[in-house]
Amino acid sequence: MILEEFRALEPPTQAAFHRLARQSGFELSGIAPAMPLADFSLFRQWSDLGYAGPMGYLLDHRGDIREDPRQLLPSARSVLCLGKLYNTIDIPDPAVSRYAWGAEDYHDTLRCALTSLVDNLRSLWGPFESRICVDTAPLLERSYARRAGLGWIGRNTCLINQQQGSWFFLGEVLASIELPPDSPPPDRCGSCRRCIDACPTQALVPAATPSGYALDARLCISTLTIEQKGPADPALRAATGHHLFGCDICQEVCPWNRRAPSTAEPGFQPLNAAPDLDEMAALPPDEFRNRFRHTPIHRARHSGWLRNVATAMGNSADPGHRPALERLAAHPDAAVAEHARWALAQPAPHTEGDQ
C-alpha cells in the first residue's frame, strides 16, 4: 500500500498548483521565487517618511524580516500567492469597508482555505515544509502577488487584476518546493488619476514608486477609523464623511472594478455594510463584542467605534442625532466625548427658507 501511494505521487508543477488553488476556492493564484524583492527598499522609504502613521506594528522588530521570506521559513523556495474574491452585491452608500461586511473574520476563512490547499498539494506531491501567511506575517504580500502575476500595484496602492479588479484578500504559502515562477503583468493604470482625485483626504501622495504614488496612512480614512487610537485630527474629521470602518473610495472609482465579479462565499455576504447610527451609538460594550467579535469591525474596539459613530453623525448634519450625541458627549472615553462635542458644534444644513 505504501509503495502504491508513493508511485501515485506526481512531480510538482505549475498547472497542478493552479488547479488545486481553484478547487480550494481561490480565484487568483501565482508563484513567485522565495527571494528578496527590490520593493523592500520602497517599503523602507515609505516607513522612513512616516507614512505608516499609527501603525507602529509595521515598523517593529519584525520590520527587517520583510526583506527575505526565508527569514520566515528558512527552507522556502517558492511563495505560492493566492487571491480570494470578497466582492458581493453593491450596497448603496455603505459606511463600512466592503471587506468587513460579512459575519466572519476573513483571516479564518483564508487560513482554512490555505490549509486545505496545502493538504491537497501534499497528497499530490508528498511532504514538504510550508508556512501559511494571512496578512499578519511580516511579508510584502502585494509585492510577491505582483511578482507571481496576480496583478499590478495601482496608484491606489491596491493590487489590481485586469480581468477581475481589486476586491481580493491575499494569502500566501511559503513552500520548500521549487516551482517555476509566473510572470508579473504590465502596469495598466495608464494616465488614470481617478483614485487620486476622488480621495477626500488626499492620502495618495506623489512618491518615487513605479506607479508614482504612495499611501500616506496618516491621511487615510481607513487608518483614521480603524488604526487611530484616541481622537482624530480635527482637520480631517469632516472629510471622513459617513465612514464608520474603513473606506473603499479609491477602489470604487477604479475603472478596473466596473465589471468585477462577485462571490457567493457565505461569510462575505453583506450584513454590516450600513449600520444604523442611533442604534450603534446606544450599543453597550458587551453587545458590541457579541455582534462584531468574529468580524474585522472588532478591531476598532468599542470606543473607536463610538468615536466614528459620533463623527459620522456630525457629518450627516441630521438634527435627529442630537440626543444620541449629547449622551456620547458625556462618555467616559475622552476621544468619544471629544468627537461628540465636535459633532454637536457642526453647523446645521442650509435650506431654501434660510435667509
The set of catalytic residues is 135
> Distance between CA 35 and CA 68 in Å, rounded?
6
Q: Which residues pair with 83 in a beta bridge?
A: 28, 170
Nearest to 26 by CA among 64, 67, 76, 80: 80
Instruction: Return d(Cα 144, Cα 32) in angstroms, integer.
Output: 6
Give the distance, in angstroms, between the CA of residue 262 and the centroid of all CA atoms in the same chain: 17
For residue 133, give the H/E element and its range.
strand 130-133
Q: Are 88 and 263 in contact (CB under 8 A)?
A: yes
CA pair distance 163, 259, nearest whole angstrom? 8
SS3 100: helix
Residues 6+ apart with CB under 8 A from 8: none
Q: Which of 172, 193, 177 is nearest to 30 (CA)?
A: 172
* 53 φψ region: left (φ > 0), alpha (ψ -120 to 50), beta (else): left
Torsion angles phi and psi, residue 35, rounded to 5:
-130, 160
